Amino acid sequence: MIIKLDHPNLLSKAVDVISELVTEVRLKFNEFGLVITAIDPANVAMVSFKLPRSTFKQYEVNNDILGINLDNLKQVLKRCGIGSQLIIEAEENTLKLSILDRIKRDFTLALLEVETEDKDLPNLEFVSKIELPSVDFIASIEDCGIVSDSCSFQIKDGNFIIEAKGLNSAKSQFSSDEIKIDAQDCKSKYSLEYLQKFLKASKLCVKTGLNFSNDYPLRMDCKTDQMEISFVLAPRVENDD
């Protein structure tokens, strides 16, 4: 197996996002491209990353599945500079990464046996689908993080509301004049610890997609022309609200 990326920052940023949730993953190289799917140890969140083969300058694979430590991979990818090219090759029990810029630098990482289930994102049915500017979503979640450890996503009277309540409160409200709303009235609460980790993905795209229902898992989609990162987050069900 050998692949070549002219813009390794795409992979570097995605690995940085995924490493917020898990420490080891399987890199799956197939006819589509590179696919990473992982569930966090607490079984609360799931992440799916897709980098299509059209992104690669060279792509010679044979349905390879490679287990790797993400922290180690992240550190190597950070060594890529602007204009660097990256070549990745699988050699027996190691992954060889070559960074090409002014000089050629080689790294080898040990491949691992990663014990994880090969699952795709679950097929969920949502009553509410939202698409809003990532900058506004990021600001709203960061506002909520100041006052609480969880926030609610609510559709009420055709508006989308992000709200956190503790001793203090924070609230953002969006109308269909400002964002894309295809939704029924519903409300669900989610952990801000996880949502704040997901924000790294929102920072990579112009718009963020949110799909949820009443006391139901959240699916969050961050897409660009070159890659796609999606998350599923279990709801926080409580009796106090």
Query: Under a CB-based contact definition with an 8 Å cutoff, are residues 121 and 37 in contact?
Result: yes
Looking at domain 128-233, which of 3.40.50.300, 3.30.750.80, 3.10.150.10, 3.40.50.410 is its CATH number?
A: 3.10.150.10
Closest by CA to 86, choosing from 71, 106, 68, is 106
**Which CATH number does the domain 2-110 belong to among 3.10.129.10, 1.10.150.120, 3.40.50.1820, 3.10.150.10?**
3.10.150.10
Within the chain, all domains assigned CATH 3.10.150.10 are found at: 2-110, 128-233
The pLDDT tens digits for 57-102 are 999 999 899 999 999 999 999 999 989 999 999 988 999 999 999 9
Q: Is the pTM of this model over 0.85?
A: yes
| Distance of alpha carbon 204 from alpha carbon 240, whole angstroms | 35
pLDDT digits (tens, 9 = 90+) for 103-153: 999 999 999 988 766 678 889 999 999 999 999 999 999 999 999 999 999
3-class secondary structure per residue, 89-119: EEECCEEEEEEECCCEEEEEEECECCCCCCC
Cα dihedral: 89, 82, 19, 104 (round 10):
30
Residue 241 has pLDDT above 80, yes or no: no
Nearest C-alpha neighbor of 209 from the set 197, 196, 223, 199: 223
